[in-house]
Amino acid sequence: MNISSNPMAHAIAILFIVFSFLFIPATTLFESEQEGYISAVISNKGLDFAKDLLIEKAVSSMIPLQLSDIEKSVKIPVIGKVQLGLSDIIICSVDIASSSVETGESGIVLVASGATANLSMDWGYSYKTWVITISDKGTAIVQVQGMVVVLNVALINQEGTLKLLLLDCGCHVEDIYIKVDGGASWLYQGIIDAFQGKIVSAVEDAIVKKIREGIIKLDSLLQSLPKQMQVNGVVALNVSFMDDPVLSNSSVELEINGLFTGADGVSVSNYCYYYHKGSQTFLSSKGSAKMVEISLHENVFDSAASVYFKANYMHWIVDKIPDQSLMNTAGWRFIIPRLYEQYPDDDMNLSMAVTSPPIIRITDHDIGTTIYADLVIEVLSSGEVVPVACISLVISASCSAEIHGNNLAGSIRLVNFTSSLKWSNIGNLHMHLVQAVMSTILRTFFVPYLNLHLGKGFPLPLPHGFTLQNAEIILQDSRVTVCSDVRFTDRYDLNNQLPVSW
């Protein structure tokens, strides 16, 4: 592929944006010794994809790269002292034979080798004879061969964000070939002798300069990122980095706090979240590893449930259900006769409220949840809402996780429930009869209502322009892990910005 040397330097910088932006840093709401509850593991396959894609995408905006003019006075046999100059020196393209990215204790190392670069430039010379000055000008083409570019950086956690450190960078050119158009025969050898080393140095210095500029700009960008990810008007996600990225010889692992908080920044940490973090290995064993694996501990979902519960978003007034006869006391006359006797043919509401945050537990084969709720039977009598009885419910449900685009979504299925009378103003109830009605209400209203919202899901933090592809979900060790390849859509401009939004 053809890229300019500037694109290569810029693309190297952008490459590390992708490493960093898989999880955008946010306010450190928890102490650093706490574990993170969301982690991302990027495989060699993912790193290679990012490297190849971003180098390619950097080309269009970075070509051409102009170098500084070069002047030199040289002594030419027979001619004497000649003033030579090169101007409008432009690197038009670079062809990279191979490139690689490696990770380990020494940081992230990117190597582009076997590269050739094509340059265009103008030349000019002048020298004096007895009484006159002779000058000429023309163009030249230069091909740089055997170029190697090496970049070594480290990523560290600095107060919940990533700090990018440039450990080393360099560019080495093996050889160049110059083709001069126009001029006398002595001119060719004169330009080679005078400028070969300077052209090589100019190319090497220009590439290294662009790399350093890109790293400085990227580090500044990382430090200025928003401190919180807003999901909606109710909840936000704390995505503070908890530790330094873990670099092995086959992957990069990033770990963030990952717990939901109120949109106003108030933490839900009346609850103590703890789990033992084991070693992270690639779970996608069907064939080769996926590009990225995003793992969410069950405490992530518990924290979201706690926020919605505290914000009073788990309370519903039901006045319409598929069996609308149950919204009138006449529909209950054989189930609760006294209700119909006291309030004949009155319309009803069912007020359902969750009484504590739902408990979510992830096993190797299932996502289970337990919901504690009260259902109050209300009668609309003479323009007033009259509560007449309250039934306590303990609901056990099974959830399945799905990927819709970049969203982690799901659905819920009722497994079983128990009901008991909490209080009543209409005497004792025959709970075995009420149980059947509660089952109808839960299956025809409550479960479909939850699935309507769970089906939308919430976005996984990915850079704009990237979408999951061939994703699979694995349930293991109290976590939901999304194993996926990614693809890039050309509709997004990598060179302008790389934010993550929800």
| CATH assignment of the domain containing 108 | 3.15.10.10
> Could you tell me if 185 and 279 lie in one domain?
no
Residue 177 lies in a domain: yes
pLDDT band for position 136 (cuts 50, 70, 90): confident
Question: Three-state secondary structure along 180-249?
Answer: EECCCHHHHHHHHHHHHHHHHHHHHHHHHHHHHHHHHHHHHHHHCCCCCEECCCCEEECCCECCCCEECC
The CA–CA distances, whole Å, from 283 to 403, 476, 498 equal: 17, 9, 28
The CA–CA distances, whole Å, from 407 to 304, 455, 469, 488 equal: 15, 9, 12, 16
pLDDT band for position 421 (cuts 50, 70, 90): very high
Residue 390's pLDDT is what? 97
12-34 residue pLDDT tens = 333 443 444 333 333 333 334 45
Residue 229's pLDDT is what? 77
Check whether 106 has a pLDDT greater than 70: yes
Residue 36 lies in a domain: no
> Could you tell me if 247 and 213 lie in one domain?
no
The CA–CA distances, whole Å, from 279 to 35, 163, 251, 282, 290 equal: 13, 24, 13, 10, 18
Phi, psi of 8 (to 5 degrees): -65, -45
For the beta carbon of residue 444, count every other beta carbon within 10 angstroms. 14
Residue 327's pLDDT is what? 92
> Could you tell me if 323 and 232 lie in one domain?
yes
> Could you tell me if 285 and 307 lie in one domain?
yes
Both structure tokens of 328: 């009138």
User: According to the per-residue pLDDT averaged within each range, which of 17-31, 56-70, 122-136, 183-197 is highest?
Assistant: 122-136
Residue 214 lies in a domain: yes
| Contact assessment for residue 166 and residue 212, using Cβ atoms and an 8 Å cutoff | yes
Residue 48 lies in a domain: no
> Could you tell me if 232 and 202 lie in one domain?
no
> Could you tell me if 165 and 242 lie in one domain?
no
Residue 389's pLDDT is what? 96
The CA–CA distances, whole Å, from 334 to 124, 331, 423, 431, 458 equal: 106, 8, 20, 13, 44
pLDDT band for position 104 (cuts 50, 70, 90): confident
> Could you tell me if 90 and 189 lie in one domain?
yes
Residue 3's pLDDT is what? 36
138-153 residue pLDDT tens = 888 899 999 998 989 8
DSSP state of 273: P
DSSP state of 36: P
CA dist 52 and 37 (Å) reads 30
User: According to the per-residue pLDDT averaged within each range, which of 9-13, 221-225, 366-370 is highest?
Assistant: 366-370
Which is more confident, 229 or 264?
229
CA dist 284 and 282 (Å) reads 6
Residue 56 lies in a domain: no
If one counts the domains in the chain, the total is 2
Calculate what percentage of the chain has a pLDDT beyond 70: 80
359-399 residue pLDDT tens = 999 998 899 999 999 999 999 998 899 999 999 999 999 99
Residue 128 lies in a domain: yes
Residue 25 lies in a domain: no
Check whether 8 has a pLDDT greater than 50: no
CA dist 412 and 451 (Å) reads 6
Q: What is the CATH number of the domain that holds 283?
A: 3.15.20.10
Residue 58's pLDDT is what? 53
Residue 67 lies in a domain: yes
Domain membership of residue 195 as a residue range: 63-224
The Cα diameter of the chain in Å comes to 129
Write down which residue in 170, 199, 224 finishes a domain: 224
> Could you tell me if 251 and 394 lie in one domain?
yes
Single-letter amino acid, residue 385: V
> Could you tell me if 217 and 364 lie in one domain?
no
Which is more confident, 415 or 76?
415
Write down which residue in 224, 251, 280 finishes a domain: 224
User: According to the per-residue pLDDT averaged within each range, which of 243-247, 278-282, 301-305 is highest?
Assistant: 301-305
**Buried b or exposed e, range 119-158, using 16+ CB within 10 angstroms:** bebebebebeeeeeeeeeeeebebebeebebebbbbbebb
Q: Distance between the two ends of the chain, CA-based, in angstroms? A: 34
Average pLDDT, the chain: 80
Q: Where would I find the H helices in 63-116?
A: none
- Mean pLDDT for the stretch of residues 262-267: 66
Lowest-confidence region among 23-27, 84-88, 457-461 = 23-27
Which is more confident, 85 or 283?
85
CA dist 498 and 502 (Å) reads 13
pLDDT band for position 62 (cuts 50, 70, 90): low
Single-letter amino acid, residue 462: L
> Could you tell me if 293 and 355 lie in one domain?
yes
Check whether 441 has a pLDDT greater than 80: yes
> Could you tell me if 166 and 198 lie in one domain?
yes
CA dist 459 and 502 (Å) reads 6
The CA–CA distances, whole Å, from 367 to 10, 363, 452 equal: 44, 6, 18
Which is more confident, 387 or 460?
387
- Mean pLDDT for the stretch of residues 458-472: 82
Lowest-confidence region among 119-128, 223-232, 413-422, 462-471 = 223-232
> Could you tell me if 143 and 244 lie in one domain?
no
Write down which residue in 224, 254, 275 finishes a domain: 224
- Mean pLDDT for the stretch of residues 97-110: 85
Residue 287's pLDDT is what? 42
